[in-house]
Amino acid sequence: MSVIALAGNQNSGKTTLYNKLTGSNQHVGNFPGVTIEKKEGQLKKYKDIFLVDLPGIYSLSPYTMEEVVTRDFLLKEKPDLILNIVDATNIERNLYLTLQLMELSIPMVIALNMMDEVTASGNSIDVQKLSSHLGIPVIPISASKGEGISELIDVVIRSIKENSSPKKHDFCVGEVHKAIHSISHLIADQAEDAGYPTRFASTKLVEGDGPTFKSLKITENQMHIIEHVVKDMEEALKTDREAALADMRYCYIEKICSEAVIKKQETKEQQRSEKFDEILTHKYFGIPIFFGIMFFIFWMTFNVIGAPLQELLEILIGRFTEIVSNIMIAFDVSNWVYSLVINGIFAGVGSVLSFLPLIVILFFFLSILEDSGYMARVAFLMDKLLRKIGLSGRSFVPMLIGFGCSVPAIMATRTLASERDRKMTIVLTPFMSCSAKLPIYGMITVAFFHDQAAAVMTGLYVMGIVVAILSGLLLKNTIFKGEPVPFVMELPAYRIPSRKNVLIHMWEKAKDFIQKAFTIIFLASIVIWFLQSFNWSFDIVEDSSKSILAFLGSIVSPIFIPLGFNDWRASTALITGLTAKEAVVSTLSVLTGAVTDVQLSEVLYTIFTPLSAFSFLTFVLLYMPCVAAFAATRRELGSLKYALLTALYQTVTAYMAGAAFYQIGSLIGG
């Protein structure tokens, strides 16, 4: 069996190439931080060759979790070949990583991606000269269009068989050359024992790389010698150690590109991006434009497109329920079985499924924003705002993912270099409204705010962001004191979203939603039906207010009086919402016996007023996410205690926000 490691910069088209080579339908995003962990797939038509998609990185210095994952895999797993994908439109920057990968002495092939954009702009790259300078096979491709893929596979297979490492390029000169080679002689045996290529190890020691010092077990005497060598280099060059190595690499890259690259102008995509960014990243108008775009998306989702489709699906579910009901009546099934199926399973699962069109349409628009490259601009815009609460714009990437689901969002904090930033982002990310809450929003807006659905939705999303900001200010000056790390982010060129990628993203969200409906929601509906149908003597009750669930709910319900509702059904729904937020809708449907949205809306008017309904939404928006997100928080924080404190903080914040909204609203209205 052979293993190929796919390595490259973020936004170089790495995951797109991975999908082409393996046939995987992995989601492709056009902003940094999408690929968080390595992913494995089988090379098409080659059962014994596996491709590992490593996180996108810019260097092999282990500052972020992405770089740690990639570096550890390359050094410890020792793949048979590195397939380095290079963005041809940004070749100088991409080759910086290439030179570091070459130091690992692992067979390499370069996939020169986006060559179609280079040639379309009148630019050119002499692939043969580039390959000759680097001593590595270079294959021009366009991963998105599938051009050059077959040739790339042929070269990859041949390189694995030949097992030839990159030519030993000694591209360092002068003082850097002297420092690297002096240290190489000093640590050669230790590098071999640790499994590190000597050139790579000595370069990292010059950089002052902590993990390398530890792995090579550098003695105190060796440490003094290395620091003396580095100090002499810094004094001679009048710069620091890291800058000296960066200058060395970029000087060599400049030499290569001067001979192999003819650049007449920027690509059309880059030129177009600069014009768009003058407006979309404007100092004053950028953020208002973003909120305007989000309002448009919510308006299209909840008013123009989503509402009619939701009504149609609800009619279909209602007719199917009626058919099943008639069949069961015809076969004279027992009352409790009929109640379980119709009032339990169909009411619970059906009420959630009716919101499927809203999920699909919302993520259709969001995937377009993501794949076009716009979301990277939003992170850039948010940097200044987030920095005021003690975070950098890089923290917005996990928060952005949180609008889809809190679990991958919490996991995405691994991309943050600072442990302080990472923990603080984990605490704040669940305040971003995840897609699981959409059915609850839809249920309440249909009943109370039908004509203002887009405004209410936008208000909720903005509220989540505002609460996160206020919480950040509090945490910044108390638990998480300190300054955020510097934020450097590449803005990818705007590109027309791939139809396939958009459809894949929509399908993934729809599939997750449907799976949850027929697993967690299905089981929750049965449990809720049982608890609201039987009393403590396990006798079936006609009035659900005398059930086990009513008793348990009535214990909790007084807590929510300051929020404007004191109905045991509402408090029970919030508790079951901890399993999955969609369970709030299914619980209320089962408890009220409502089958259609019209019936549910009528019952909701007996539980809430418009003011308390929005207070309910506020609590749902902010309180502790589902148990899966809690488990992810515990795993990432490494402590059950801190995970419980985080959940408590989020729930208390939700309670205070909901109570404040209702009480202030009552004073104004009354």
Question: Do residues 662 and 612 touch, judged by C-beta distance below 8 A?
Answer: yes
Which pLDDT band holds residue 28 (cuts at 50, 70, 90)? very low
Q: Is the pLDDT of residue 455 over 80?
A: yes
CATH number of the domain at 22, please. Answer: 3.40.50.300
**Six-digit token string for 550:** 């009513």
- Each residue's pLDDT tens digit, 218-249: 999 999 999 999 999 999 999 898 889 889 88
Q: Clarify whether residues 334 and 379 are in a common domain.
A: yes
Q: What are phi and psi of 139, to 5 degrees?
A: -120, 120
Name the more confident of 659 and 476.
Answer: 659
Q: Clarify whether residues 213 and 336 are in a common domain.
A: no
Question: Do residues 435 and 402 touch, judged by C-beta distance below 8 A?
Answer: no
- Each residue's pLDDT tens digit, 133-149: 999 999 999 998 889 99
Amino acid at 485: V
**DSSP letter, residue 77:** I
Q: Clarify whether residues 200 and 316 are in a common domain.
A: no
Q: 294: how many CB neighbours lie within 10 A of its CB?
A: 20
What gap in Å lies between CA 92 and CA 261, rounded to an integer? 10
Q: Clarify whether residues 210 and 304 are in a common domain.
A: no
pLDDT of residue 38: 60
Q: Clarify whether residues 300 and 350 are in a common domain.
A: yes
Q: Clarify whether residues 155 and 190 are in a common domain.
A: no
State which residues form the domain around 299.
Answer: 288-484+503-669
Burial 601-620 (b: 16+ CB within 10 A, else e): bebbeebbbebbbbbbbbbb
Q: 408 vs 32, 411, 632, CA distance in Å?
A: 14, 5, 8
Q: Clarify whether residues 384 and 435 are in a common domain.
A: yes
Question: Do residues 471 and 657 touch, judged by C-beta distance below 8 A?
Answer: no
Strand, coil or helix: what is 366?
helix
Question: Do residues 292 and 461 touch, judged by C-beta distance below 8 A?
Answer: no
Q: Clarify whether residues 118 and 189 are in a common domain.
A: no
What gap in Å lies between CA 557 and CA 532, rounded to an integer? 16
Q: Which residues pair with 83 in a beta bridge?
A: 6, 109
Q: Which residues pair with 366 in a beta bridge?
A: none
Query: How does strand 39-42 pair with strand 2-8?
Result: unpaired
Domain final residue, candidates 121, 138, 162 = 162
Percent of the chain with pLDDT over 70: 95
Terminus-to-terminus CA distance in the chain, angstroms?
74
Output the furthest CA–CA distance in the chain (Å, rounded): 95
Q: 353: how many CB neighbours lie within 10 A of its CB?
A: 22
Which pLDDT band holds residue 670 (cuts at 50, 70, 90)? low
Q: Judge whether 74 lies within some domain.
A: yes
Q: Judge whether 421 lies within some domain.
A: yes
Q: How many CA atoms lie within 13 A of 512 on its CB side?
A: 16
Which pLDDT band holds residue 431 (cuts at 50, 70, 90)? very high
Amino acid at 546: K
Q: Clarify whether residues 143 and 182 are in a common domain.
A: no
Q: Clarify whether residues 217 and 78 are in a common domain.
A: no
Q: Judge whether 93 lies within some domain.
A: yes
Which pLDDT band holds residue 621 (cuts at 50, 70, 90)? very high
Could you give the number of structural domains in the chain? 3
Q: Judge whether 273 lies within some domain.
A: no
Q: Clarify whether residues 218 and 77 are in a common domain.
A: no
Q: 153 vs 177, 309, 571, CA distance in Å?
A: 36, 44, 58
Cα 440 from chain centre: 23
Q: Judge whether 243 lies within some domain.
A: no
Q: Is the pLDDT of residue 81 over 90?
A: yes
Question: Do residues 485 and 638 touch, judged by C-beta distance below 8 A?
Answer: no
Q: Clarify whether residues 468 and 345 are in a common domain.
A: yes
Q: Judge whether 248 lies within some domain.
A: no
Mean pLDDT of 66-71: 80
Strand, coil or helix: what is 61?
coil
Q: Judge whether 309 lies within some domain.
A: yes
pLDDT of residue 30: 41
Question: Do residues 520 and 583 touch, judged by C-beta distance below 8 A?
Answer: yes
What gap in Å lies between CA 143 and CA 20, rounded to an integer? 7
Domain final residue, candidates 135, 162, 189 = 162
Q: Judge whether 67 lies within some domain.
A: yes
pLDDT of residue 355: 84
Domain final residue, candidates 162, 188, 207 = 162
pLDDT of residue 169: 65
What gap in Å lies between CA 441 and CA 444, rounded to an integer? 5
Q: Is the pLDDT of residue 26 over 90?
A: no
